[in-house]
Structures are given as structure tokens and as C-alpha cells.
Amino acid sequence: MKKNVYTKYGSPDVIELIETEKPLPRDNQVLVKVHAASVNILDWYHLTGPPVIRLTKVTVC
């Protein structure tokens, strides 16, 4: 599966497209196939926002 990740702050150039293994659901879980996703303003602030926002740890996948 492919996913977009970032590990540092900066411009959209720091976002990388990587290939990972498809997750396997455990008991009482389901695997959902996503056809489309979007970026909202909170995601943008976590990437380039003020230092106060950067103190929170968020992983974008």
C-alpha cells in the first residue's frame, strides 16, 4: 500500500510517498479500502504552522 508521510516540518516538499505492507486486521477489526483522501487546515498547520501547533505529535498517513 502507498501512503504519504512527513517526519519534519516545512513546505509540502517534505511529504514523502512511501510503500508499506498492507495491514492485517485482527479479531473484531475490519480493513477499509480508501479511494480518496484530503488535507484540511489542521493538517496544514501541523506541517507548517506556528511552534505551539508543532508541539503536538500527529502522524499523517
- Claim: this prediction has a pTM higher than 0.75: no
Q: What are phi and psi of 3, to 5 degrees?
A: -150, 150
The span from the CA of 11 to the CA of 44, in Å, is: 9
Condensed to tens digits (0 to 9), the pLDDT of residues 5-60 reads 887 777 778 889 999 999 999 999 999 998 888 878 777 777 776 666 556 655 55
Condensed to tens digits (0 to 9), the pLDDT of residues 13-28 reads 888 999 999 999 999 9
The rounded radius of gyration (Å) of the Cα atoms in the chain is 14
The span from the CA of 29 to the CA of 9, in Å, is: 33
